[in-house]
Structure 1
Amino acid sequence: MKILAAICVLAVGVSAQVGPSGIISPDGVNTQFSHDFASNIVLVGPSGIVTNTGDNRQLTAGEAELHVATQPVPMPVSFYVQKGSIGPSGIVSPTGANVQFTQAEADNTVLVGPSGIVREDGNNVQLNAEHHYARSKRDLVGSSGMILKDGTPVQFKSAGVKVLLDAPSGVVLTDGSLYQRRNKRDLVGPSGMILEDGTQIQFKSADVGVLLDGPSGVVLTDGSLYQRRNKRDLVGPSGMILKDGTQIQFKSADVGVLLDGPSGVVLTDGSLYQRRNKRDLVGPSGMILEDGTQIQFKSADVGVLLDGPSGVVLTDGSLYQRRSKRSLVGPSGMILDNGTQVQFTEAGTFILLEGPSGYVLSDGQLFQKSA
């Protein structure tokens, strides 16, 4: 208990106003670090910030006085674990979505910790892993049962039952019961079914059921076949919306679709509309590549000289590399470049090894990349 108390006192005393993405001030005049400066920070101390490029930042006397409680000690930026910084006047987030406390909120704050804020009036605030107020969708557990975050209701069989293990694929209770988490799936009833894509199917007789359920369709016991639908064009009496979002206005009331192909649509009045793939957007002052990279032209007369699969060359000689599709990693999980979602089983998990065929996490889990 004494060790825990010492850690809490140390955490409060560590330069609570200087975080990995900026400096927050009680007067509301906050300082936001640039992305390059924030990524180069090596150490945050009581009087300044040290970077690996030598572009150090000296704190003013006023900024240095913003330290809370005890004399702050230098701490490496890894202490913040990309969660931002909490102080008596607000929260600095690595995403830039900072929170400024009102004067009443600041006066009402008794203690600020990594998991929440204790208020004098008893209206305490719970923070999530990213130090945000917003709470993620989660299981609700009560004394007699629980509702999983996917909507599944679970009734406890006895009064003392609790959650023994909570994993991304299911929940194990202390009485040995196992409940599987469900993905989006078909709903089947006595008179019909609703496919996961929203298609409604009415059974022709009472004894009909599902004979075969595959990735492209469903076969019923009466021989009926229903195709699963992908994203498709929407056609109305006065126009249509292509599945890529392109809107088409028919020029007359009797126009319809004559030919619908993978690269375009031909209407009965002879109009041709090209389907569009995700592409670069070019304007007079810059461009946005299809992967989301933003490029600012250095002068008004700059244009695209060469556009290739791996990069773009501008007329002023600038070269911009296209970035390949990659995995997205967050504090509680990751999305692989093939779309597979991975839920971390514990806080602090990270990628230990990434190879051409898979990932090894720091907790020993292995995830295979799809071909």
Structure 2
Amino acid sequence: MRFLVVIAVMVAAVGAFPSNAGYVLPAGNIGYSGIVRTDGTIEAFPGDFSHDIVLIGPSGIVTKSGKNVQLDRNLHRTKRSAGFVRPEGSVGYSGIVRTDGTIEAFPGDFSFDIVLIGPSGIVTKSGKNVQLDRNLHRTKRSAGFVRPEGSVGYSGIVRTDGTIEAFPGDFSYDIVLIGPSGIVTKSGKNVQLDRNLHRV
């Protein structure tokens, strides 16, 4: 009985919040008060964390302070990197929170496809990368290319051998062309790649 009361209180708390009140998924519910999973487990959030939340998405929670929570498909915490925080805002697996007041939530399929978050964007397994400008808004730059050996984008390289190479922000913003054999930059700091997408 006590278990049902706790669930009812948490579900009521989730329903009490406006538009971004949480998320209802087949695996359970995520709200500002915590997570209620269909496997019967409940995770309550401390008050300080609850008040820090600005965005709840299908793969986790983004906070003002960058203390994000990443969730797997069963709504349990994962050990993935939570992204990064910059003066312009924070980027995580669930979305982007900018200091200009705008929020961008990522769909679940995109969130679970992410393998690397860097200062200039997001690299995915499928090559559906997101390039970000200095204010953390999407840019219209080419996202790079995908080969059987992996994918190359403005944020870095994801290889099918399991290795990842993240590019620093200054290098990312310097890129003007990504081709099958390397990267060309405005400053001439080019990167040549071998057949396995490693630097030569």
Which structure is higher in helix share? 2
TM-score for the superposition, normalised by structure 2: 0.35
Q: More relative contact order in 1 or in 2 (CA 8 Å, sep 6+)?
A: 2
User: Which of 1 and 2 has greater Rg?
Assistant: 1
Q: TM-score, normalised by structure 1?
A: 0.21
